[in-house]
Amino acid sequence: MTTTPASMESSPLSVDERASLLPGVVPEEYGTTEAHFQQDDAVYQRFSPARKRAIVALLSASGLLPFFVSGSFVPSIPEVAREFDSTGPVINLAVSLSILCESIGTIVWATYAGFYGRRPIYLSSLPIFALASLGVSFAHSVPQLLTWRIAQAFGVGGALSVGAAVIGDIYKLEERGQAMGVFFGCCLIGPAIAPLAGGLAAHYASWRFMQFAFFVVGLALVACMYAWLPETSHPHARGIDKLHAQGAKQARWVWVNPFGGVALLKSPNVLGLCLVTSAVLTTDYVLLIPLSYTIGARYGITNEAIIGALFLPSGLGNMISAPLFGRISDRIVVTMRKRRGGVWLPEDRLRGGYLSALLIVPTSVLLCGFATRYVGGAPGIILNVIGLLLNGIGVVGVLSPSSTYYVDIAHTQSAEITAVTSALRGALIALATAAALPLINTVGFLETTALSAALAWLGAAGMWVIIGHGDRMRAWVDIGYTASG
């Protein structure tokens, strides 16, 4: 994969000036032309369409796990608190810590995925997840629970970042948004059904049953990955390939700095968009994590299975939104490239998520806060369900094109950039999750949703800046941007 020359990144040409250049005579240093895309097609033809779909199915099955780990646990928080003679906010730390440790895990696994390849990472991380899930199922104190939850989250941390990197490995620019959308859409079945599954397990059996099920599923996935997942890294792109090219003999363990990818955050585009998506995603956690203590308490819902069912609208919105906005972002990329005479600007992809950040996300979270405060009975529950559905659509409507944008602009570092942005976002969300319930108890649910909506609007403003000025912002710091996505 070619990297953008420094002259391109420091070019003073504006978007309009680039667009004015005639097709076929665009200097290479001023942008990415059709020739780049034609040269890159061969590397994406290593696998047949059917094999690619099979790979995406495996990635999606693994990508379900992070959402199941957190989502299935939330409805059982009151039961776990009673069993351990603790409180909801304390047990809620198991969710916050797992998000934080998943963020650390995603950096570590992604870094080693760039060095050793994608396949070894799945075969190393999934066994850790399986064994830690077994530990959670046998935990008998809060410290044991937190310890095993940390290991469980670490083991599953690479599922999304390495999965996104594999999508970038096998799908070219014009197909990547839709493929990424399908991947995330399948993964986001997790938020739709995990709380219901966890609630059913907690109500009719025990919260431990779900954790033991994770152990079984983890072992099954290890077997499937071993049998059917090929190495998808581009030829000679792995760190180990470069060692072999330098004359190294049989490969041994090499320590790699897992936090080297943090340098990617020097890019204002990367850091800025990460803050945007964090602000947007906060609304989702503000609504869902304390749901038992907000909507559940307001409408007298104590059955864990019903609490779990209230997560379904958000998950359904996620499932609808991911492939839809992925395809929309692909269409926008192709259309805008043609309009500029073959010049590609990565920020075009973000146009597909802007209205979600500006309108759908903040209004949906406000709707839930307003309905919970002022509307009782069945009408209030219905309004909350509508708000949760719209929030699920809007949040993923921002996240789907944003995740693909990261792969587009740093293709040779796709796992690392996905990981470091996910990690930072996860750390910010962990803080928001830990603060959500105390804030709700202090100032109220409506006031908390209003604050969350305000953050989402700030995120929309940041996205507008990146869309309009992203090419100039990329010129400030060169992190090794890819020229052709």
Residue 126 forms beta bridges with which residues? none
Nearest 10 degrees: Cα torsion 324, 330, 335, 336: 110
Q: Is residue 485 part of a domain?
A: no
Q: Is residue 127 part of a domain?
A: yes
CATH of the domain at 281: 1.20.1250.20
pLDDT string in tens for the chain (485-residue length):
333 333 333 333 333 433 333 333 333 333 444 444 444 577 888 899 999 999 999 999 999 898 888 778 877 888 888 888 888 778 877 777 777 788 788 889 988 998 899 999 999 999 999 999 999 999 988 889 989 999 999 999 889 889 989 998 999 888 888 888 888 878 877 777 887 788 888 878 888 999 999 999 999 999 999 999 999 998 887 888 877 777 666 656 778 887 888 889 999 999 999 999 999 999 988 898 788 888 888 898 888 778 878 888 988 898 888 889 988 999 999 999 999 888 889 999 999 999 999 999 999 999 999 999 999 899 999 999 999 999 999 999 999 999 899 989 987 788 889 888 888 887 788 788 778 888 888 899 999 999 999 999 999 999 999 999 998 999 898 888 876 65
pLDDT value of residue 249: 62
Q: Using an 8 Å Cβ cutoff, are 361 and 456 in contact? A: yes
pLDDT value of residue 225: 96
Helix axes 377-409, 173-187, angle to 10 degrees: 140
Residue 3 forms beta bridges with which residues? 482
Q: Is residue 218 part of a domain?
A: yes
Task: State the pTM of this model.
Answer: 0.75
Look up the domain containing 223 and give its range. Answer: 6-10+50-233+261-476
Q: 3-state secondary structure string, 422-437? A: HHHHHHHHHHHHHHHH
Residue 32 forms beta bridges with which residues? 344
Q: Is residue 213 part of a domain?
A: yes
Cα 191 versus chain centre, distance: 12
Euclidean distance between CA atoms 445 and 324, whole angstroms: 31
Greatest CA span in the chain, whole angstroms? 72
Helix ranges (H only) for 77-157 are 77-83, 88-116, 118-137, 142-156
pLDDT value of residue 374: 94
| Sole residue written with tokens 């992203």 | 470
What is the domain count for the chain? Answer: 1
Q: Is residue 85 part of a domain?
A: yes
pLDDT value of residue 33: 46
* Per-residue CA distances from 52 to 56, 161, 170, 231 (Å): 6, 18, 7, 12
Q: Is residue 292 part of a domain?
A: yes
Q: Using an 8 Å Cβ cutoff, are 345 and 33 in contact? A: no
| Sole residue written with tokens 């950039």 | 417
pLDDT value of residue 10: 33
Name the amino acid, one letter, at 420. V
pLDDT value of residue 94: 75
Q: Is residue 253 part of a domain?
A: no
Q: Is residue 289 part of a domain?
A: yes
Identify the sign of the CA torsion 462, 466, 469, 472: positive
